[in-house]
Every structure is written in structure tokens, then in C-alpha cells.
Amino acid sequence: MRRAAVALVVLIALLSGTGTAVAQPAPPPNPGDDELERSQQEVTQRAGEVGRLTSELADLDARTDDLAAELALSRESAEAALVALNIAQEAAAEANRRADAARIETEAASAAIESARDRLDEFVVATYQQGLDNGPLGLLTAASGPEDLVARAEFNDAIARSQLAAQEGLERARVDKANADAGARAALQDARDRAAEAERAKAEADSAFGAADQAAREHAARLAELNAQRVELQRRLEAAEAGDAGLRAQRARYNDWLARVAAEQAAADRAAREEASSRVVAVGDGPPARGSAAVRRVIDRAMSQLGVQYVWGGGNGRGPSTGIPDRFGSPLDRVGFDCSGLMLYAFSGAGVRLPRVSRNQYNAGRKVPIADLRPGDMVFYRNGGAPIHHVAMYIGGGRMIEAPYTGASVRVTKLRTRGLLPLATRVL
């Protein structure tokens, strides 16, 4: 419909007498003054209607862009919540492993206590069975002579040391068990806390996905409403154009021009994609580049994907991939890139590992003003004070490459200023 809007501006210029002159057929019969006046009034009336329709179509285009941005934001929030859930679940699993280890230590300490108690019991039983009086004077008073007295004194000392060692071993085992019990309780509490955090993260992720799902349905409903309005406007536009043969001829010529421009652009995109792909293949898995060579490699990898379809959640360092499962109407067998996935693939060619979500990619490097943009810098978009919902790569000449939205493909386009953050991110 933007094409129609541009065509309408050209048509208004023609009706106003400011358009490009075109060859005219042989003049028709000369009309009377009254007929000329009526014709001029009709053309003027239709020109005003065309102008109003142009304004309405431009407004619908802006509203459609806003809806696409809102949907992208809700999907980014859902993906960020999914990342947080994975982190929380991993932390809970690690806490459970620590709790299991502490439980094993507690069981080992209990076994040590039992072993120490058994040794002490053995000592007592042996003393009882042998009928030894191991008191302070029991063995000494029964000595038969000096040599026996010395032997009995040494034996008495050995018994005392053995008894003391058995008692100390039991006490140490009890202390070790008390420490293991405390560690096990702390580990178990930590595991419970981590599990609770994982549950909260899951609830937040479910809520975010639910919000994105609802946003997708609302987006589809509102787009259907806007498309219905477009059909009506197009019908009125065609009726206005059909009122004058000159307008219809101009529209046909303009559509032919648009087709030529589209064909030329498609050919240029194919040539750029093939050229970039050949350089990517030539580099292969070579060592990471530096400086301008790294920038060239990153841009080439992005350009080699021109025409690949947009798939939400698609793309990684190896190339296009399937997206997030079919919660928003995307078939599971679709392969492509979303905006941040395209950045992952492009920058991996220079050995740069980026986060998955665009709002996190914003913080992955040094901030530079938009006025100082260089090829290879990442630019970001958001609506008002909402979080970042889109990322693209500046390639120079006032242009950027991006995976724009569902239904479109990776493309090179003019750097948009609407919603553009004042700072870009530079990682090379």
C-alpha cells in the first residue's frame, strides 16, 4: 500500500499540472466551454479525494508498523523470560546436587560414629573378659617384683592411652556428624530456595508467553481490521482513478516502473548475495580476522543470507534454524532468522559470541553515537520507553541489513530513524 500511496502523490502532481510531461494521443473533438468547466470541476474533486486517500493510507501504514513493533517486543520479552527460566532451573539442579553430596557426608559421619562406638565397646568387652583391673592401682598392687612392676606400669599406661584414643575417636566422629548435619540442612534449604526461584521463573515465563500469545491474536485481529479498511480505500481509489483515462494510464506506467525497479533490486540482491557468499566460502573456517577484515567478514556473512525468510527465534552461529515452537502460528519446519539470530550468525564469523536476545546484544559492546556509525555497528529500535525489540547491522552508505518481521525476508534497507536509539553498539 505504500506503493499505492506514492503513486497517488504522483497522480495528484499530474492533476495539478506539475508532473512530468508525457506523449499525448491525437486530440479529441474540441469540447464546449460548459463541458470543459464540468470536467475541470470533476478532476479537481477527484484530486482532493485522492489526496485524502493518500493521507489515510499513510496513517494505516504507520499503525501497522506500530503493531509489528508491539508484537516483536512481546516476543522478545517472552524469549528473555525463557532464558531466565533455564538459568533458574540449572541453579536448582546444582543446588540439588549439593544437597545430595551433603546427605552422603552425613551418612558417612553416622557410619564413623558407629565405627568409633564399636571400637570403644570392643575395648570395654575385652577388659571385662580378661578380668583386668585397669584402675590407678589395680595392676600395680599385684606385681610380684620390680621387673613385673615396671611391665605392669607400662601395660597400664598403654591401656589408658587406648581407652583415651577410643573415646576421642568417638567424640571426633560426633563432632563431624554435627557439622555434616548442619551442612546438609543448609544445602537442603538452598536447594529448596533454588527450586522456588525456578518455579517463579517458570511462572514468569508462562506469563510472558501468554502475553505474547495474546498480543499475537490481538495483532492478527487488528491487522484484519486494517486490511478490511485497506480494501475499502483501494476500492475508492480505483473508482477515483477509473474516472479519468489519463489517471489510469499514469498508474499503469508507474506500476511498470515499480516492476522494473523491483526486478533491478532483486537482481542486485542476488548479485550481492552471491558475491558475499563466495567470499564467505573462500574464508571457510579460517582464523578470526581483525580490524577491517573482520568487519568485511561479518557484513559478508549477513549479506550471504539476503532473501532468507524471517522466523521468530530462528538463527544461530551456524546459520538459519527453526524458530521457537508453534505458540504463535509458526510451523515447526520453517527455517530462517529473526533479527538477533541474524546478528549471532554474522558476528560468529569474526569469533564474537553475542547473547541471544536483542536487548542483551545492546550491552554486548562499546556504545557509539549514531552520528559516528561505522559499518559493522549494531543499531537498535524501541517504541518510546519500552524495552528494545529490534536489532539491525549498519553496512555503510546510510543502509542497514536486517531480518525485519514475519512475512518478510533478510533485506538491505535505508537506515530508519523512527524508534532508533541514539547509541549503537560496536563489538569490532
CA of 329: how far to CAs of 83, 227, 333, 338, in Å? 21, 19, 12, 15
Tell me what pLDDT residue 61 has.
65
Locate cell 546436587: which residue?
97
Residue environment code for 137-150, b if the CB has 16+ CB neighbours within 10 A, otherwise e: eebeeeeeeeeeee
**CA pair distance 16, 13, nearest whole angstrom:** 5
Query: How far is 198 from 184, CA to CA, in rounded Å?
Result: 21
Cell digits for 331?
A: 510451523
Question: 313 near 323, Cβ under 8 Å?
Answer: yes
Q: What is the pLDDT of residue 363?
A: 95
* Residue 413 CB neighbour total at 10 angstroms: 11
pLDDT score for 127:
60
> Given the C-alpha cell 544445602, which residue does it identify?
187
Per-residue pLDDT of the chain (428 residues; tens, 9 = 90+): 444 444 443 333 333 333 333 334 555 576 666 665 676 676 676 666 666 666 666 676 666 677 677 778 877 877 787 787 788 778 778 877 877 877 787 777 677 777 767 766 666 665 656 555 544 445 555 556 676 556 656 656 666 676 677 677 667 767 777 787 777 788 778 778 877 876 787 787 677 777 766 766 776 676 677 667 767 767 776 776 665 565 556 666 767 777 887 788 788 888 888 888 888 887 776 667 788 899 999 999 999 999 999 999 999 999 999 877 655 555 567 899 999 999 999 999 999 999 999 999 999 999 999 999 999 999 999 998 899 999 999 999 999 999 999 889 999 999 999 999 999 999 99
The percent of the chain in helix, strand and coil, each rounded to the nearest 5, is 65, 10, 25
Give the global pTM: 0.53
C-alpha grid cell, residue 33:
466551454
Q: Which residues are catalytic?
A: 339, 390, 402
Give the per-residue pLDDT at 297.
Answer: 93
Q: According to the model, what pLDDT value does residue 96 have?
A: 76
* Alpha-carbon distance values, 181 to 101, 102, 110, 167, 187 (Å): 12, 8, 10, 21, 10
Residue 212 corresponds to which amino acid?
A
